[in-house]
Amino acid sequence: MNQLWEKVEKINTFLIPFAVIALLIILILELFFHPESEIAHLIIEITDWIIVTIFVIDLIFLGIKAKSTRYFFKHYWLDIIAVLPFVFLFRFFSRFYLLVVGAEEFKLGQSILHESLEVGKVASKSEKLTKIGKGIRVGARLIRVATKSSSLRFKRKNIKHVRV
């Protein structure tokens, strides 16, 4: 590897503990404080993407250094799962579900009152899917914390204890 990529790897390795701490803060905020403002959600999403980017770069370097493809997938499968954006899949499915079921309701040509009640039911089902997506997002973040915190190597300095 040339010097540029070695510097990138060194900087990325330096950033991993901070990314894990930031991820823990995001988890605590989403689990216990439920930020409601759009700005808070935007900051959380941007921070989450920065953290995922740091972990993806780390995963790329792990892949480069792996002995073989089989070794890489055998030893780093949890890291691979941790960086997959499952939230987007659940957002897509919840919106798709809302569109499909809502479109079927409009095709039936029922009364406006009946349609509004049915759309309300669909919206509640879509909201449940969104909550499931949020739970999976939290789970994915927990996996990221687990995989990266276990890979951090905190070295103890050998200190000789002097008896008085």
Q: In percent, how much of the chain has pLDDT > 70?
A: 65
How many other C-beta atoms lie within 10 A of the C-beta of residue 57?
A: 18
Segment 80-105 shows an average pLDDT of 71
Q: Is the entire prediction scored with pTM above 0.85?
A: no
Q: In percent, how much of the chain has pLDDT > 90?
A: 18
Distance CA 7, CA 83 (A): 22
Q: Could you report the per-residue pLDDT of 44-87, keeping only the tens digit for each?
A: 889 988 998 999 899 999 999 888 889 998 888 888 888 877 66
Q: Could you report the per-residue pLDDT of 133-161, keeping only the tens digit for each?
A: 677 777 777 777 777 766 555 444 444 44
Closest CA to 148 of 3, 7, 21, 41: 21
Q: Positive or negative, the Cα torsion across 122, 30, 42, 61?
A: negative
- Note the residue count of the chain: 164
